[in-house]
């Protein structure tokens, strides 16, 4: 039981540190079926419940590199 709890607690604490350091999202991207790619959402009227969206944060290259190292 303890071997399940420790990784979960570590992941939770790590996620809380990352989330509290971030500012509100910089961009919202919506999936565009015409070009099969993510495009910025320009108008709030274009949100639809059946569509998929990405909430994006802008980070510098050093931060992105350190996050990739943590994932791998």
| pLDDT value at residue 18 | 67
| pLDDT value at residue 20 | 59
Query: Which among 54, 61, 63 is positioned nearest to 21, based on CA atoms?
Result: 63
Q: Where are the domains of the chain?
A: 23-72
Going from the C-alpha of 51 to that of each of 9, 24, 30, 41, 65, the distances in angstroms are 33, 21, 7, 11, 30
One digit per residue, the tens of pLDDT, for the chain of length 72 reads 667 788 888 777 777 776 655 556 678 888 888 888 888 887 878 788 888 888 887 777 887 888 888 777
Residue with tokens 């992105």: 64
- pTM for the complete prediction? 0.48
């Amino acid at each position: 039981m303890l071997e399940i709890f420790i990784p979960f607690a570590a992941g939770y604490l790590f996620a809380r540190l990352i989330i509290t350091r971030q500012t509100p999202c910089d961009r919202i991207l919506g999936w565009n079926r015409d070009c099969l790619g993510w495009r910025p959402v320009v108008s709030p009227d274009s949100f639809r419940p059946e569509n998929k969206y990405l909430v994006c944060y802008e980070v510098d290259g050093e931060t992105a590199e350190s996050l990739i190292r943590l994932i791998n």
